Amino acid sequence: MLVGIVSVQLGAGFAKLLFDEVDPTMLVWLRLATSALVFAVVARPLLRGHSRDDWMVVIGFGACLGLMNWAIYQSFARIPLGIAVTIEFVGPLTLAMLSSRRGRDLAWVALAALGVAALGLERADLDPVGVAYALLAGAAWAGYILLSARTGQRWAGISGLTVASVVAACALLPAALLADADALTSPRVLAIGLAVGLLSSVVPYSCELVALRTLPAATFGVLMSLEPAAAALVGIAVVGEELAALQWVAVGCVVVASAGATRAGARLGGPVPD
């Protein structure tokens, strides 16, 4: 989980630095195409022997994957990384609340929500379009969490993730070509797309798919509260976006919430992420 969180936010930070050169939609497509190619080489998925339901699940997974990535990059282009991921987190946070049946879990979710709110309230002059894209990404993220778990149950290894990545890349290709087809003629842009794809897709999605096979949805959702904090810190280190005092308080809230969720999982006999 931690490896995936750090990797995806680093990839987002490096990608944002290039938005003046490459359209965000094209960068998203390069990211998805890279992950689809790498996963296909590694997994070599067996396409035969799967039911219609198996295919419907993996296609839905791919649709959520593509929409989530496209929407959050559109948000990154308009508002700071930390704020965009904070708003996006509304999706998995809502899923965690709906999935939990224990008051203790809801308490950790509430603490994480407090941190999310603190991050989001620091800046009032947010582009409403960027906020809307972040909310759309959050909804797709919730669908991704649910369908990723189902895909892992129906497809062996990372074969389901491979097929989903191909679906997402194919669906986004027309929009990418319309947005910035000339970018595909630049070796530098292609190399950047490869790096962003590895950081933002290959590493984190592989980690999350494994984690979702063992972690309850509620625990997974709370642990993902580290995403806004990681995005805010990457915004400082990579993009140069400042972190205000209230945002540091928010970072403390989400870290404590994540630690509490991990300890609760240990007491229940569940797996504890390294």
Other residues' Cβ atoms within 10 Å of the Cβ of residue 49: 6
Structural domain that includes position 6: 2-267
Residue 273 within any structural domain of the chain = no
Residue 113 within any structural domain of the chain = yes
Would you place residue 204 in the very low, low, confident or very high pLDDT band (cuts 50, 70, 90)?
A: confident
Query: What tens digit of pLDDT does each residue of 163-202 get?
Result: 898 999 999 999 999 998 988 888 888 888 888 888 988 7
User: How many domains, the chain?
Assistant: 1
Query: What tens digit of pLDDT does each residue of 118-144 get?
Result: 766 665 567 889 989 999 999 998 898
More confident residue, 133 or 270: 133
Total residues found in the chain within this entry? 274
Residue 25 within any structural domain of the chain = yes
Query: Does residue 110 carry a pLDDT above 70?
Result: yes
> Which range, of 6-15, 18-27, 227-236, 249-258, averages the lowest pLDDT?
249-258
Residue 274 within any structural domain of the chain = no
Give the pLDDT score at 272. Answer: 30
Answer yes or no: are the C-beta atoms of 151 and 58 closer than 8 Å: yes
Residue 272 within any structural domain of the chain = no
